[in-house]
Amino acid sequence: MGKFSPSLRFCDKLPSIMAQDNFTDFAPEPLQPESPTFAEKVGEFFLETFKTILLALLIYFAISAVTDRVRVENVSMQPTLYEGELLVVWEPAYVLGEPKRGDVIVFHHNSQTDEDYIKRVIGLPYDTVSVRDGQVIVNGQVLSEPYIAEVTEYEGDWSVPANTLFVLGDNRNRSSDSHVWGFVPMQDVVGRAVILYWPLNEIRVFNHRDLLESSS
**Pick the catalytic residue: 51, 119, 175, 178?**
119
Preceding peptide of 199 cis, ω within 30°: yes
Q: What is the spatial distance between Cα 73 and Cα 148, in angstroms, rounded to a whole number?
A: 18
Known catalytic residue at 76: yes
Check: CB of residue 169 under 8 Å from CB of residue 152: no
Strands (E), the chain: 67-71, 86-90, 104-108, 116-123, 128-132, 135-138, 141-142, 156-159, 164-168, 184-185, 189-198, 204-205
Q: H-helix or E-strand containing 96?
A: helix 93-96
Known catalytic residue at 176: no
Q: What is the spatial distance between Cα 126 and Cα 136, in angstroms, rounded to a whole number?
A: 16
Check: CB of residue 166 under 8 Å from CB of residue 157: no
- 3-class SS of residue 104: strand
DSSP state of 2: G
Q: 181-186 long-range CB contacts below 8 Å, 24 or more apart? A: 183/158, 184/105, 184/107, 184/119, 186/94, 186/99
**Pick the catalytic residue: 16, 51, 76, 176?**
76
Active site residues: 76, 119
